[in-house]
A and B are shown apart, each in its own frame.
Chain A
Amino acid sequence: MTEDIKLELRGVRKSFDRVVAVKGLDLALRKGEFLSLLGPSGCGKSTTLAMIAGFLAPDGGDILVDGQVVNRMPPRKRRIGLVFQDYAVFSRLTVRANLAFGLESQGMPRKERHRAVAEISEKLALSDMLDARGGDLNMSEMQRVALARVLVTKPELLLLDEPMSNLDASLRASLRSELKQIQKDLEQTVLYVTHDQVEALSMSDRIAVMRDGAVLQAGAPEEIYHRPVDLFVAQFIGDPPINIVPCRVEEVQGKLVVDTALHSGLGLAGRDVPVGDYLLAVRPHHLSAHHEPREGTAESEIRLVENFGAEHVLHVTYGNDLVSVVTAPGFALEGERLHLSLDINQAHLIDRRDERVLTRRHCEAAA
């Protein structure tokens, strides 16, 4: 098992002056795995990356590559490839020269260099533009050249720090699947840093959600999306964001039910939780809107409609809160009233004090 681990962080800590940037981080990356560090600005994700690359020394803990501690190893000996937000492609050099640059400085003989450049440009669909100059490329090509330049050196580990942040939204979407396919083909181990949950969900084998220098949850994208461990993770993943409303769990005739400002008596089949006040987290897709009242619906008013073309997101009243519901285009207009039902089996109960999601084990056993 352990031979499969490419990178491991053990209790890695880092502070700047008195501000703790990374507090006791434990994380392991398997060979060929794509792992995303996901979190808001200032959560410590870029600091973590800089320590792995060797630009910053940890205050405590160990960084291991292939089972060897590399804490004191200089960056260039770590065989790590880095691509940043502002990628450096030499605009006066041809694509070929850009790709060969890193190999030349490594002292690779000419013939081998040619072969390596040809191989990587084939894989990244750059063969036709090897003679173009860096400055003549469009953003998508530039991104591929920046990536190819690093990949051609065959790094043990590829670190990507928000590489798509400066790109147009439409370009980002097409590059996501491109990058993922390249990574899969090459079986490249990747650590990807981002604040964008869409990038993390769509490309990662696993996601580690970070906040205030610590990993809150690490798991497969589906796990993070469907079984968040706390309020922060639940709110950080998903677009439109998850709805959070206050609720109360009561025992009625021996059965546990949930009451909210709008819905009452939602059966908590098999979920064993203490009676009391909680927060209820429910994804917009697990609320449904109807024109006519039916069993289990409650009336609500549409305050705002966001038109996304393929679907509309309605922001509707829910007690003193607003919640969002996803509908087909043209389902209803602002100011109209509709009838809302809530799928309690897809909702999470959250403790108000420590903001942890109550385990769903009981619920799933019952289902």
Chain B
Amino acid sequence: MTKLSVENLHNSFGDLQVLRDLTFDVADGEFFCVVGPTNAGKSTLLKTIAGLHRPDGGRILLSGRDVTLLEPRHRNVSLLFQNIALFPTLSGWDNIAFPLRTAGVAEVEITRRVGEVAEMLKVSHVLDRLPQTFSGGEQQRVAIGRAIARPADLLMLDEPLTNLDARIRIALRIEFKNLHRQLGQTQIYVTHDQVEAMSMSDRIAVLNKGRFEQIGTPDEIYHRPASAFVARFIGQPPMNIVDAELNSVVGRAVLSGPGFSTQIDGIDRLIHAARLPRKLAFGVRPEAIRISPSNGPDTPFAGEVVWIERLGSKCILDLRFAQGIIKAVVPTDHVVRREGPAWLGFTPKAVHLIDKESGLFFR
């Protein structure tokens, strides 16, 4: 069932087009993530859905009801901002109870609900205290408690983890996911961090300059990106994009470029080969690059490791290859772990061929 429908949404501030023709649905109970760089229009989208901005065009339907022109308080949506604003003079308890009190919920029901929410968010121990005594993680959890205390049709979260320490972020990521499962509530989660988007969402919408580049499941977005932008924005390190020529050699498709030449299978199953230009580019994920100290059938191309970034359990290698630098990821105990010559190989996929002019993957 569809909980939220957004149709041809436009918004601009003066001459600046912030949202350009956005259309999408969010299913009942779905965790839907909007990810994109700073100034992509993410927060504007949330505020428009919440009713804090009026759109220039388009419709917003919540549970089948057109709310485009409705006051924010009549929409039954809850929005949690990036900067946590707890009432400093109210206790943890009163902060969570606040939206229930303003909605005129009976005191007995408030007691039950606050207790339940605090238990779920593991903040029962701070309910009697003032926010200034909370740790960063506790503040954030109480703020979430306040946002979910009153059941709303839609919970929207605007970069809720951005201002927190890296360590707390990792822990809260998992808590958010568990919480969503327990509540079964429809959520729109906005972030610039592709790790959060990938690991938490049912579906991801990649927003760039006010337009959706792609909407899909994390696996679709990661394994079958629609554009070079998505390919490079999702995944860390980003997908490598290498210029190549596509030729037919004795009836088989061959991709080649300076220093490499390799067969590519499955083109005709996906794309009519005759439609493909000769000059194009292909994408290859850093973890899909094979590295070896010696030349072999799996690693036939010569390269050079010019830089190694060590991240504990794995290393990121910068390799000089095909007149550029490509990145590969290897475990820390990999045989190639020093700068110098190395051999590499990869198996390009037909779904990873890119049109150099449009920056779109061929479909």
Residues of A within 8 A of B (CB): 40-41, 139, 168-170, 173, 176-177, 180-181, 195-198, 201-202, 221-222, 225, 236-241, 283-285, 304, 306-311, 313, 315, 326, 329
Contact = CB atoms under 8 A, between A and B. Distances in A.
Given A201-B310, A238-B312, A306 B199 contact: yes
11 contacts: A40-B167, A168-B192, A170-B194, A197-B166, A201-B312, A202-B311, A304-B177, A306-B173, A307-B219, A308-B195, A310-B286
Contact of A240 (B170, B237, B307): B170
A308 B170 CA distance: 13
Given A177-B309, A285-B313, A304-B174, A309 B167 contact: no
B165 A221 contact: no
A309 B234 contact: yes
A308 B310 contact: no
Interface centre among B174, B193, B234 (most CB of A within 10 A): B174
B237 A173 contact: yes
Contacts of A202: 309-311
A307 B198 contact: yes
A198 B166 contact: yes
A304 B178 contact: yes
A239 B311 CA distance: 9
Given A41-B136, A237-B312, A177 B318 contact: yes
Contacts of B168: 40
Given A169-B195, A309-B234, A309-B235, A225 B174 contact: no
B346 interface: no
B38 interface: yes
Contacts, number: 96
A222 B310 contact: yes
A87 to B, nearest CB: 15
A329 B221 CA distance: 14
Interface string B266-307: 000000000000000000011100000000000000000001
Interface string B229-272: 00011111110000000000000000000000000000000000
B311 A198 contact: yes
Nearest to A173: B236
A139 B310 contact: no
A302 to B, nearest CB: 13
Contact of B307 (A177, A195, A304): A177
Nearest to B178: A304
A237 B309 CA distance: 16
A197 B193 contact: no
B51 interface: no
Contacts of B198: 307-309
B235 A310 contact: yes
Contacts of B311: 198, 201-202
Contacts of A170: 37, 192, 194, 232-233, 236, 238
Contact of B310 (A40, A221, A307): A221
Q: Give chain A's interface secondary structure class.
A: mixed
Nearest to B168: A40
Contacts of B55: none
A306 B307 contact: no
Given A168-B37, A198-B311, A306 B167 contact: no
B185 to A, nearest CB: 18
B222 interface: yes
B329 interface: yes
B37 A196 contact: no
B92 interface: no
Interface size class of B (residues with CB under 8 A): 35 or more
Contacts of B210: none
A201 B314 CA distance: 11
A310 to B, nearest CB: 4
B310 A169 contact: no
B349 to A, nearest CB: 14
A139 B165 contact: no
B218 interface: yes
Contacts of B232: 170
A169 B193 contact: yes
A308 B193 CA distance: 12
Given A198-B166, A201-B311, A307-B198, 13 more contacts: A41-B136, A168-B37, A170-B37, A170-B236, A173-B236, A237-B312, A239-B312, A304-B177, A308-B198, A309-B235, A310-B286, A310-B329, A313-B199
A222 B37 CA distance: 32
B218 A195 contact: no
Nearest to B235: A309
Given A177-B307, A181-B307, A239-B170, A41 B313 contact: no
Nearest to A169: B193
Contacts of B238: 170
B141 to A, nearest CB: 16
A309 B237 CA distance: 11
Interface string B184-211: 0000000011110011100000000000
A168 B238 CA distance: 14
Contacts of B178: 304
A326 B279 CA distance: 38
CB-CB nearest 8 A-B residue pairs:
A309-B222, A306-B199, A169-B193, A196-B166, A310-B287, A195-B165, A168-B192, A225-B312
A139 B39 CA distance: 12
A337 to B, nearest CB: 19
A176 B309 contact: yes
B218 A309 contact: yes
Contacts of A173: 236-237
Nearest to B233: A170
A264 to B, nearest CB: 27
A308 B199 contact: yes
Nearest to B173: A306
A41 B136 CA distance: 8
A257 to B, nearest CB: 26
Nearest to A221: B310
A285 B222 CA distance: 22
Contacts of B166: 195-198
B207 to A, nearest CB: 13
Interface centre among A169, A237, A285 (most CB of B within 10 A): A169
Nearest to B236: A173
Contacts of B192: 168-170
Contacts of A225: 312
B16 to A, nearest CB: 16
A196 B167 CA distance: 7
